[in-house]
């Protein structure tokens, strides 16, 4: 069972179909593993009761030869900003610490229709406002890589030589998991689930995927329903997918994508499921290397990965071309303005009246609102609300919000020009370094870190484009190094196909539970 938890979904599904393993056995092993990796704090809520009931249902379908598909009996996790009926959905905030929705998010509902088993709700930065998963009411999530949990319970399986961890790990130090979907990333990396949903507004799925050595897929805006996802920035939020392989990410995408009458922002056309070939030909692809992504601060190791994969794609027949996205440097500032405006608007409903946190205050409605919001939100959230309200003042609206929207259009047009000139994909870094140590990360405030961490990922959200993180190799410190591919809207098949080709070429090392950590 130990090795089964680190295998691709298709292999586990085949074992379930053949009857050599029962869904309840896989579920029980996953639930037990959540206890072993608890020090990493990936989960806010482990839904072991729900998981066991759902796995028992899958057992019965297995016995009747009526399994629902390749996800039937497969453990998954969901970021705790997605609604699950009757279960806490906290957004890692005191404001929603006791909130249990009365309905399921569409993405979860669709996973359940495929028979997926919910292991738990995962940790995040409060209301998804962060890039490290350190600003959570429930404490930070720690990266598996470079941790004591890794050295104690996991071994690194690879067909190619990989560097050992180059620096001794002090007990007081650990590496961030990335954010804001760090809990979902660590849940998948540890093997407690086979895939997890994150959300991606400026890179919140791809950033932790980069630091945790995972596939992190951000679909085209409008391809996947946002219904039941508590919003951060309505026009950029996209449900993201974290998985260990490209094929696994495609399976999850096939399950959740498509129009949803409950979400008018979804594209109203039938979704065509993606089937990826085993043998991939990239000789017909023009892949752009945008010069604006080679910014100061990019590590030598990330740059070397970028150069190496570019060379490998060239050897495989792809045409690698230098390109320019001239408005990239304005993107992160533009995003910061729009983010805070939407935060001020979206979080106005948390006032202590209808649901959520409420203080014991009866003097005036004004005092109730003020004290509830002061207690309910952390400093990061309150800061964004205040700045957003300033941007939205009548005298400031045109100077900030309108200008930011105009710049967003220019950023999107930069991408359109490349697609019109027969560029098929872009290859860029995802993050500028491997995962920082916590002590180094917190030297800068939340806003500054987001400006750094989102530089390479956020422009795809501004333009609504699909993008994917692919892990490449380990750094000298034994931490994952990754790259990003970006494609035109609704070209997920092209994106995933190229990502799979890179995956097959680089053969990123796979983690397995040690025999000493028996879960049978």
167 within a domain of the structure (yes/no): no
State residue 46's pLDDT score: 98
- Mean pLDDT, residues 91-96: 98
CATH of the domain at 99: 3.90.1300.10
Please give the residue range of the domain that contains residue 210: 1-158+176-273+283-519
Q: What are phi and psi of 322, to 5 degrees?
A: -70, 140
Whole-structure pTM value: 0.96
Residue 111 forms part of a structural domain:
yes
For 473-507, the pLDDT digits (tens) are 999 999 999 999 999 999 999 999 999 999 999 99
Indicate whether 170 belongs to any domain. no
**Is 164 within the bounds of a domain?**
no
Residue 225: CA atoms inside 13 Å, Cβ hemisphere, count?
Answer: 26
Select from 196, 192, 148 the least CA-distant residue to 39.
Answer: 148
The one catalytic residue among 30, 79, 184, 336: 79
Catalytic residue list contains 93: no
Q: How confident is the model at residue 518 (pLDDT cuts 50, 70, 90)?
A: confident
Q: What is the mean pLDDT of residues 334-359?
A: 95
Average pLDDT over the chain, rounded to whole? 95
278 is a domain residue: no
**238 DSSP assignment:** E
Taken in order 292, 293, 299, 301, the sign of the CA dihedral is negative
Residue 203 corresponds to which tokens in the numbers above? 């890179």
Q: Do residues 245 and 215 lie in contact, with contact meaning Cβ atoms separated by under 8 Å? A: yes
User: Is 345 known to be catalytic?
Assistant: no
Whether the CB-CB separation of 32 and 519 falls below 8 Å is answered with yes
What was the pLDDT predicted at 355? 87
Evaluate whether residue 163 is within a structural domain: no
In a domain, 168, yes or no: no
Is residue 266 situated within a structural domain?
Answer: yes
Given 6, 136, 204, 210, the catalytic residue? 204
| Catalytic, out of 13, 30, 131, 180 | 180
Say whether 180 is catalytic.
yes
- Looking at residue 172, what is its pLDDT? 52
Which residues lie below 8 Å from residue 519, measured CB to CB, with a gap of 6+? 1, 2, 5, 29, 32, 33, 513
Domain count, the chain: 1
Using a pLDDT cut of 90, give the percent of the chain over it: 92
CA angle 362, 366, 367 (to 5 degrees): 50
Which positions ≥6 away from 255 have C-beta within 8 Å?
Answer: 69, 71, 110, 111, 114, 116
């Amino acid at each position: 069972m130990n090795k089964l938890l680190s295998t691709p979904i298709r292999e586990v599904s085949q074992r379930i179909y053949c009857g050599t393993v029962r869904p309840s056995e896989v579920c029980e092993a996953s639930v037990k593993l959540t206890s072993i990796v608890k020090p990493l704090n990936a989960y806010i809520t482990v839904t072991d009761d729900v998981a066991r009931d759902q796995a028992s249902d899958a057992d019965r379908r297995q016995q009747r030869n009526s399994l629902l598909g390749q996800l039937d009996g497969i453990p998954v996790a969901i970021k705790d900003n997605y609604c699950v009926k009757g279960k806490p959905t906290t957004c890692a905030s005191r404001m929603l610490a006791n909130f249990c929705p009365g309905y399921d998010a569409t993405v979860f509902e669709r996973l359940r229709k495929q028979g997926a088993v919910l292991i738990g709700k995962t940790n995040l930065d409060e209301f998804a406002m962060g890039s490290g998963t350190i600003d959570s009411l429930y404490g930070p999530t720690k990266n598996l890589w470079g941790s004591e949990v890794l050295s104690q319970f996991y071994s690194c399986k690879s067909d190619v030589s990989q560097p050992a961890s180059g620096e001794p790990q002090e007990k007081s130090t650990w590496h961030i998991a990335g954010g804001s979907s760090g809990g979902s990333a660590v849940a998948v990396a540890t093997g407690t689930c086979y895939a997890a949903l994150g959300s991606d507004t400026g890179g919140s799925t791809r950033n932790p995927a980069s630091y945790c050595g995972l596939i992190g897929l951000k679909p085209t805006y409008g391809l996947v329903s946002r219904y039941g996802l508590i919003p951060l920035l309505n026009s950029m939020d996209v449900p993201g997918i974290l998985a260990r392989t490209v094929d696994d990410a495609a399976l999850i995408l096939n399950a959740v994508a498509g129009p949803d009458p409950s979400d008018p922002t979804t594209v109203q056309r039938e979704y065509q499921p993606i089937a990826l070939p085993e043998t991939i030909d990239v000789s017909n692809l023009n892949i752009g290397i945008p010069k604006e992504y080679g910014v100061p601060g990019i590590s030598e190791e990330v740059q070397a990965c970028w150069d190496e994969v570019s060379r490998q794609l060239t050897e495989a027949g792809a045409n690698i071309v230098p390109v320019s996205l001239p408005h990239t440097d304005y993107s992160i500032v533009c995003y910061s303005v729009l983010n805070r405006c939407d935060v001020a608007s979206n979080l106005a409903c948390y006032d202590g009246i209808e649901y959520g946190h409420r203080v014991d205050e009866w003097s005036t409605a004004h005092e109730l609102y003020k004290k509830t919001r002061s207690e309910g939100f952390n400093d990061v959230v309150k800061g964004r609300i205040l700045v957003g309200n300033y941007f939205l003042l009548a005298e400031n609206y045109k100077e900030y919000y309108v200008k930011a929207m105009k710049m967003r259009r220019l950023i999107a047009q930069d991408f359109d020009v490349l697609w019109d000139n027969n560029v098929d994909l872009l290859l860029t870094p995802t993050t500028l370094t491997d995962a920082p140590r916590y002590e180094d990360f917190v030297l800068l405030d939340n806003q500054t870190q987001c400006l750094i961490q989102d530089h390479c990922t956020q422009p795809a959200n501004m333009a609504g484009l699909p993008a994917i993180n692919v892990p490449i190799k380990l750094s000298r410190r034994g931490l994952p190094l990754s790259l990003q591919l970006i494609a035109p809207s609704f070209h997920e098949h092209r994106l995933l196909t190229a990502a799979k080709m890179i995956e097959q070429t680089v053969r990123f090392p796979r983690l397995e539970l040690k025999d000493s950590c028996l879960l049978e």
